[in-house]
Amino acid sequence: MLAAFLMKPKLLLILFSFFLLCIHPYRGVATPVTSFLMLRGKAGSESIVFYLYKYDQYYSGYYYFESQQRPYIIAGIDSSQTGKLHLSTSTKRYKEFFVLTQNDHHYRGLMTRENEKGRNVQLELRRVTPALRMNYLYEQDSVKLLNEESPYPSATVGIGLVWPEERLPGFTTMKQGLSGFVKGFEYAEGDIRLQMQKLIQKELDSYKNDYYYINEQELKRAPRSYSVEIRRTIHIAHQTHRFISFVYSDYQFSGGAHGITQLKYFTWDRKAGKALMLQELFDQKAMDSLMPVLAKRYLSENGYDPGTPLYDAGLFENTLVESPSSVYLTDKGMIFHYNPATIAAYSTGMIDIFVPFQELRLLLQVPLLKSLGWDELQPLVE
């Protein structure tokens, strides 16, 4: 039954929007335990890494194979009945399912790829301490418009942050940078959880003010139409000793068929003490030259022939002109992210295009390459 549930369409989008299944729509419910878990090990003969964020019994996060270092969204549930951790991910080409059993700091289990029936890959993982020690903080609260047993109409707001430990060098700069990406967050020195709670209360008060004029009969007629769900989280997608690639997820449901999720990635340079933004990596001339590279990689990653028109490959236009929503770094290259409905239909979902560094060496600004220690990637002299 659980396997069938995990295969439902759009499950990962729902779960990654962070815990839409774990809403507690009443005040006074104790906040479940949150945690950050990093696992490293083998999937068969391949090295694999997981970054998992737990709220109650629900997980979301990222994993990647070391050979590719391309993070994939993952989500799942820790089943107390079976004592196993069930995770799944989905791409355009396939779905992968993970079932893990914990024994102290070790996790063992199987990875199954949907289009390779009967082929299970052994997983041998262990819990490790990341290069950057982070805590995971999550706060959530709800309010109802009617004093009835039904949970709707209501508003539920959740804020989740990976947060560096106090003893880290550059802690102040990093925490200001992280909080600056969260919509509505105004960071000040003091208790970070209290500040998260204040932002949640501000959103709940705004919800009550927006709907106070709706009469009770109308609210009972269409309770879900007057309900709001907001999730704003920051996770780690990838990290090395110098660079940490964060992802900010902003999900909002305010009636209709589905909610909307927007992602924004940013890479933190621990040495420079700042986030590396797209405009710092590429000037306008380089961005113009980058578009054909992204188009070529998009076709290749999705199984199309190099000469396929982009509109036959699912994009709006035959020429890629829209700049990526954001970009982030791994040890192998850069990943360029497009949010839904940016360059393709909303149903296509999010689009991530990976480009290895060797294909970017003529485009990245040389001073930046030197500052990052990538001298071997400088443009070649003819």
pLDDT of residue 204: 96
CATH number of 20's domain = 2.40.128.120
Domain-terminating residue out of 224, 251, 276: 276
Interval 324-381: pLDDT, tens: 888 888 777 888 999 988 999 988 888 989 888 888 877 876 555 555 555 443 333 3
Q: Residue 363: inside a domain, yes or no?
A: yes
252, 373: one domain: no
Residue 65 lies in a domain: yes
* CATH assignment at residue 240: 3.30.565.40
- Residue 294's pLDDT is 93
CA angle 240, 246, 249 (to 5 degrees): 160
| Statement to judge: residues 350 and 255 lie in one domain | no
β-partners of residue 143 are: 155
Confidence (pLDDT) at 372: 58
Final residue belonging to a domain, choices 276, 300, 332 = 276
Is 171 found in the same domain as 192? yes
Residues 199 and 309 in one domain: no
**Residues 268 and 282 grouped into a single domain:** no
CA angle (344 as vertex; 340, 349 as ends), nearest 5: 35
Query: Can you give the pLDDT at residue 117?
Result: 63
The verdict on 92 and 70 lying in the same domain is yes
Same domain, 234 and 285: no
Q: Which residue range(s) make up the domain with 326?
A: 278-377
Going residue by residue through the chain, which has 382 residues, state the pLDDT in tens, using 9 for 90 and above: 434 433 444 444 444 444 433 433 333 444 566 788 889 999 999 999 998 988 888 888 888 888 877 788 888 888 755 678 889 887 666 688 999 998 888 999 999 887 666 578 999 999 988 777 788 888 999 999 988 788 889 999 999 998 887 666 677 788 888 888 888 887 777 888 899 999 999 999 999 999 888 998 999 998 889 999 999 999 888 877 777 888 899 999 987 778 888 898 888 887 777 788 777 788 888 888 899 999 999 999 888 998 899 999 999 998 888 888 888 887 778 889 999 889 999 888 889 898 888 888 778 765 555 555 554 433 333 2
pTM for the predicted model, two decimal places = 0.78
Residue 154 and residue 271 share a domain: yes
260 shares its domain with 302? no
> Residue 155 has what pLDDT?
94
Q: Same domain for 92 and 54? A: yes
**What is the per-residue pLDDT for 224?**
87
Place of tokens 């190099």: 306
> 287: domain CATH number?
3.90.640.20
Residue 382 located in a structural domain: no
What is the C-alpha separation between 337 and 341, in angstroms, rounded?
12
In a domain? residue 369: yes
Asked whether residue 307 is assigned to any structural domain, the reply reads: yes
pLDDT tens-place string over residues 99-118: 999 888 899 999 988 766 65
* Domain count for the chain: 3
83 token code pair: 């004592």
Please, are residues 294 and 353 in contact by the beta-carbon 8 Å criterion? Answer: yes
- Please say which residue of 276, 305, 331 terminates a domain: 276
Domain shared by 301 and 344, yes or no: yes
Which residues, other chains included, contact 24 with Cβ-Cβ below 8 Å and sequence gap of 6+? 140, 142, 156
The pLDDT score that the predictor gives to residue 172 is 79
Query: 97 and 139 in one domain?
Result: no
Q: Is residue 221 part of a domain?
A: yes
